[in-house]
Amino acid sequence: MDVEIEKFLDWLVVERGLSNHTIASYSRDLVQFANFAARRGVTNLQNIDEKLILGFLSHLERGRYAAASVARKLSAIRSFLKFLVSERVIDSNPLALVTFSRPARRLPKSLDVAEVAKLLSAPDVRTTLGLRDKAMLETLYATGLRVSELIALRTSDINLDRGFVRCIGKGGKERLVPLGEIASHCIALYISGARDRLAGGMCTEYLFLTNQGRPMSRVMFWKIIKKYARAAGITKEITPHTLRHSFATHLLERGADLRSLQEMLGHASIATTQIYTHVSRDHLREVYRESHPRA
């Protein structure tokens, strides 16, 4: 099975253009399934059946895996089996006629406008790192980019005159997202007052750099946003994705339409974007209760 998993992962890279992060997730999930199958004495791909897969899912549930993690692993197995059928490695897909209930989507956590303002005001812009951090936080909230998209930005991806950012999202898809005046101003200050100092003479196209002149990493930015959340007195659990959720929630609350939001977030399906309508409805109910005399 290991050989076919490697072929499948290569296919995902070449044919679907998935990111390294996504490929790593597929790899972990499928290796875990392969190890489970081997313990059950299943080494021949033709012997993978519905009973084996259901046994694997039960094994995951007993191990207290979150419903979302189980669903992701099942999706990886489904895709792998479809690939094996298309490559004529197996005769039929044992999951072709099997349906599973989808786990309930958790509403994304977001900050309110006041909390976002505190977070964005936390960096000390009198310092080199403060200028960089302010520009990163403002850009993230202004655009709703994924953190992987943010740290991958090149200087050529930013158009400050026209106020937009170009990014490459999931599946290698390119999109343009409005940047806004405040974020544009912060990026301009960072580029003119801090980026060259961070680069230290090194030649690099990446926009946001560490103090060693290297591209910013996901882990480092996660630590940065945690630090400023503490400094701002925000007690909620916060991650880089929190600002993406806040971006989407605040736009919907102020009348943005779902299709435009889908484009800005880079969602392949509007069904993914629709989760934010639940957040918006909660906001409307709260406004109604606070404002209507007979609420």
Cβ atoms of 136 and 267 closer than 8 Å: no
First and final CA of the chain: distance in angstroms?
Answer: 61
Token pair recorded at residue 161? 């005159």
Q: Give the catalytic positions in this structure.
A: 146, 170, 241, 244, 267, 276
Helices (H), the chain: 2-16, 20-39, 50-62, 67-86, 113-121, 128-143, 147-151, 181-190, 196-199, 218-231, 240-253, 258-265, 270-273, 275-291
Q: Taken in order 215, 124, 176, 170, is the CA torsion positive or negative?
A: positive
DSSP β-bridge partners for residue 158? 165
Distance CA 150, CA 148 (A): 5
